[in-house]
């Protein structure tokens, strides 16, 4: 994690579920069933707890025991000042900049109730390698996002496919809770998550923002690393 990012991204890590059009379409049938009857009308949020923080070059421990581990490539939006009830039109004035996030998770059973145990293990949220200012990213809604595993492309999408763009996310979230300087908004992972195994080198590349590299390691037997 670069020095600037380390200083800027010290707050709460907020994940947004279901923020890619393709993922929402895949899940529509599920949302038409009871008890939901319709897709979510507000952003579905989850928290990555402080123990999940990891950086560029950091190791991610595979949970083992027949569990599956999946990377979550995402654009991170780092807040630059407190935002409460801001409009979409002024939302980007509250942003310090952008970074790359890999939001690791076990496979999800329900997008309405993200499981803490699946999302909040140690090291399950890598952020980095640096923070780019808003001025350095011409259009955050037209960025290619690519996941490489051992050098092979395994997942590809674009932030052009967001369900809610960044100003709308900030406006809708800040309507009911204040976002503080240093908070990180993880804008969503596209459909097509893949499984990774110990020994894998996992890279998230976001055009113009950076490339975040992590390695998956096996859990040490008899001890939690």
- Domain ranges in the chain are 3-31+62-218
Task: Give the pair of three-digit tokens for residue 202.
Answer: 């996992």
**pLDDT tens profile 101-146:** 999 999 876 655 667 888 999 999 999 999 999 999 999 999 999 9
pLDDT of residue 225: 45
Topology classification of domain 3-31+62-218: Fumarylacetoacetate hydrolase; domain 2 (3.90.850)
What is the rounded distance in angstroms from the CA atom of residue 187 to the CA atom of residue 146?
A: 15
**pLDDT tens profile 197-212:** 999 999 999 999 999 9
What is the rounded distance in angstroms from the CA atom of residue 154 to the CA atom of residue 136?
A: 27
Mean pLDDT of the chain: 91
Q: What is the mean pLDDT of residues 27-34?
A: 74
**pLDDT tens profile 31-81:** 677 776 776 778 889 999 999 999 999 999 999 988 999 999 999 999 999
């Amino acid at each position: 994690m670069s020095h600037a990012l380390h200083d800027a991204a010290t707050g709460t890590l907020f994940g947004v579920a279901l923020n890619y059009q393709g993922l929402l379409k895949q899940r529509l049938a599920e949302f038409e069933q009871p008890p939901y009857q319709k897709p979510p009308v507000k952003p579905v949020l989850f928290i990555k707890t402080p123990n999940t923080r990891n950086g560029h070059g950091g190791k991610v421990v595979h949970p083992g025991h027949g569990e599956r581990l999946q990377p979550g490539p995402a654009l991170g939006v780092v807040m630059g000042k407190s935002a409460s009830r801001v409009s979409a039109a002024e939302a980007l004035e509250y942003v310090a900049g952008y970074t790359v996030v890999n939001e690791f998770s076990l496979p999800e059973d329900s997008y309405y109730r993200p499981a803490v145990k699946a999302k909040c293990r140690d090291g399950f949220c890598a952020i980095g390698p640096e923070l780019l200012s808003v001025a350095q990213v011409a259009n955050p809604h037209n960025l290619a996002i690519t996941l490489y595993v051992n050098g092979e492309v395994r997942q590809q999408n674009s932030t052009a496919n967001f369900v809610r763009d960044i100003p709308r996310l900030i406006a809708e979230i800040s309507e009911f809770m204040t976002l503080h300087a240093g908070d990180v908004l993880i804008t969503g992972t596209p459909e097509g998550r893949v499984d990774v195994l110990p020994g894998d080198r996992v890279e998230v590349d976001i055009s113009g923002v950076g490339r975040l590299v992590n390695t998956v390691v096996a859990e040490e037997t008899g001890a939690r690393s």
